Amino acid sequence: MINSANPLKMRKRSSLKKSQRQFAYLIILVPLLMILIFRVGPIFTSFTLSLFRWDVVNPPRYLFIGNYQELFHDRVFWKSLINTLYYAAGVIPLNATIPLCIAFIINEKWFKGKTMIRLIYFLPVVISATVAGVMWMWMFDPLIGVMNYLLKFIGLGPYPWLNDPNLALPSVILVAVWQGIGYNMIIFLAGLQGIPESYYEMGMLDGTNKFQQIRYITLPLLMPTILFVMIFSIIGSFKVFDRIYIMTRGGPANATIVVTYYLWDRAFAAFKMGYACGIGVVLFFIILILSLFQFKIFRLRT
């Protein structure tokens, strides 16, 4: 069969596709450069500076693993790491289970006022952590705070919330859960609404009840969404800084000092930039290992 296609038109079409690809690469190049400069670049710079002793004023002095050896024997660092793990252990389960339960209820057909409920739960998300921290500081005030005022009616308190080493970190966890429920609820709700109704119809034909539908249909299909929420909750918990800085400044008696706050303190209060970068490198690997562990666990379950 003779090919009747016009070679000139084919050449124009190929040149047009080539120019379109070049234009697409040019568009991608700009954000790629931004990522390399402002994301990848600082990571490699932190790795490099962690091998030096540098106080910003004097030239860097090469130590190899000297910062990491000092970090290993630093009691405050280990205290901050324990506090960070405690904070994550309190925030992550609550910020996953509570929003998931709320999303299940809101997603039901019989539930009325879905828009209003979503708005109410999502309002704390749009409040900045600084504003939320100041607001809750007033609410936790031992003398004029609304928390002790409400507890007085049931015969409890008053409690020195942020001034007690045993209550300060749980109080910050409460604020983090309050502010994170709305965002995760929207994510879970989107995941639930993305599950086709036909799966539930087939399950009903097989005689499954509501609990069996949740266990064998909803949760397996919702695993990617749960994984997304868990990974970002881990990262967010280990990166917490603003609430600690606003509400407690790591006190009382280092009861709420976390890794990121200690990193900031070493870098901008003690001017030990190389040491602070070493803390950042350790934190990077902790988050990476926990994230990979989560991927492994969810892959085995699915």
- Between the two ends of the chain, the Cα-to-Cα distance in Å is 52
| Residues β-bridged to residue 52 | 62
Mean pLDDT value across residues 288-298: 85
pLDDT tens, residue by residue, 101-111: 999 988 888 88
pLDDT tens, residue by residue, 141-192: 998 899 999 999 888 878 999 999 999 999 999 999 999 999 999 999 999 9
Q: 212 falls in which pLDDT band (50, 70, 90)?
A: confident
Q: Between 20 and 283, name the one with better pLDDT.
A: 283
Query: Where do the domains of the chain lie, and which CATH numbers do they carry?
Result: 7-62 (no CATH), 72-301 (1.10.3720.10)
